Amino acid sequence: MLFNSFAFAAFLPVAFSLYWLLQGRVRAQNGFLLVASYVFYGWWDWRFLILIAFSSLVDYSVGRGLATVTGVWGRRLLLSTSLTANLGLLGFFKYFNFFAESFADLLSSIGIQASWVTLEIILPVGISFYTFQTLSYTLDVYHGKIEATKHPVAFFAYVSFFPQLVAGPIERARNLLPQFLEPRAFSQELAVDGLRQVLWGLFKKMVVADTCGVVVDDIFINYGEYSSVSLFLGGFFFAVQIYGDFSGYSDVAIGTARLFGFRIMRNFAFPYFSRDIAEFWRRWHISLSSWFRDYLYIPLGGSRAGKWRSLRNIVVIFVVSGFWHGANWTFIAWGALNAAYFIPLFLWGGHRSHLDIVARGRWFPTVRETAQMAVTFCVTVLAWIFFRAQSVPEAVDYIRAMLTSSPITPLRVATDAMVFSILMLAWEWIQREKEHGLELSRFPRWARWVLYAGIILIIIEFSSGQREFIYFQF
């Protein structure tokens, strides 16, 4: 079920109403959320429910085992069971064909012709997200950071919680799971703020991202026909598209969770106003970046393992992050390129330079801050070209044409995309010290309602062409 679909528009108010009729009955609310989440997820294909139920059952059982087993080898065996089950499912459904085809290509490159069987595997929606979410539980229980839960319904509801099930944020058990065990009372203030964030997320997705997506698809498919300026704009519009699409999903997820009395973590903090690539990664897909930091980078030794091991750890984190995004060499190249951006900052000790909000308390940034943001945005756009391209050679050709081609074909149908891109970025600059774009406590009520009505009308106007969220395929 898509957030930008009529099905979800009907599902949400029904689920909201029935859920709060059960106020004061935590177990009943959890049971209802579990059923509602399975309906939401099974809307695409009911067979996917088998996988998420299996993953939930394995990790709940592992958690119960870790609560009773004290021997080192027994605990390691239990943790290995969780890792094998979850990463095994993820590896098979997402990466089997990639490894099979890559191995066949490797053999062909040395003169050995291999006929390798590939399978018609349907990638289950959201599998990259909920496997990491449930793994955070077993890893935290194993390391003694949280206690294993005794409530299976609450745990299953935590894994499948429908607002953030499909594309995050990837919640930690230590934050979200306790909220399923506590009484939840309806808060009008929380719900109203949630609705505002949902509205802003839908605007970013349905108006900004989808409008940019039409232009981006045309440019990347026909990049050989376009001028350098048009190709630069193609990279710019994709940067806006993927931000509007993914952060828009996160806004809807966080806002929807608030409607049900839950607070889940922020996933984006206006990343395109970053002054270096390290700040960008502290502000982009925060739940994934922090997941890899806590469960991979720090266990590998982090930045305390000596210079060369630290550099190795940085490369591992970025490459694995790229590979997490998809079974294609383009994502690995994208991750490696971001590592190359990050390493000089790390060596110079500048990766922790910008921890505050840019131009806090001021309308405009300084010349230096403007230049820093412009450079960071440009190198980010360059990396996004690898992310969007179908292959690494195509990305290289696109960049070569972007730098060398002469005007051939003018860019078509880009006015709406440019206008909405500028409006979104300008508005988020104004709101950069807030949690989201429609946190408007300082505005008079009449102005807020005029803005809400305008956004709703624009969304309705641009809602005819429904496009899936980009991160559904990850």
DSSP classification of residue 4? T
The gap between the terminal CA atoms of the chain, to the nearest Å, is 16
Residue 171 and residue 169: Cα distance in Å, rounded? 6
Q: Is 325 designated active site?
A: yes
Q: What is the DSSP letter of 122?
A: P
Measured between alpha carbons, how far is 264 from 45 in angstroms, rounded to an integer? 26
Residue type, 252: V
Alpha carbon distance 232, 221 (integer Å)? 14
- Dihedrals φ, ψ of 226, to 5°? -110, 160
Contact 206, 291 (CB under 8 A): no
Read off the tokens for 464.
Answer: 């005819």
Please tell me the distance from the alpha carbon of residue 135 to that of residue 471, in angstroms, as a whole number. Answer: 20
Sign of the dihedral defined by the CA atoms of residues 278, 279, 282, 283, in that order:
negative
Q: Which residue has the tokens 């700040």?
A: 279
The stretches of 69-125 forming alpha helices (DSSP H) are 72-109
C-alpha 108/C-alpha 100 separation (Å) is 12
- At 16 the three-state DSSP class reads helix
Q: Are 220 and 389 in contact (CB under 8 A)?
A: yes
Give exposure, 190-217, as e/b (b: 16+ Cβ within 10 Å): bbebbbbbbbbbbbbbbbbbbbbbbbbe
**Residue 386 to residue 179: CA distance in whole angstroms:** 39
Measured torsion, CA atoms of residues 174, 175, 178, 182, in degrees rounded to the nearest 10:
160
φ/ψ of 146, rounded to 5, equals -140, 165
Of 283, 279, 303, residue with least CA distance to 354: 279
Query: What is the sign of the dihedral through the CA atoms of 331, 329, 2 and 40?
Result: negative
Given 285, 325, 351, 354, the catalytic residue: 325
Q: How far apart are CA 335 and CA 331, in angstroms?
A: 6
Q: How many CB atoms lie within 10 A of CB 6?
A: 10
Angle in degrees, 0-180, between the axes of helices 367-388 and 392-404, rounded to the nearest 10: 130
Give the active site residues: 325
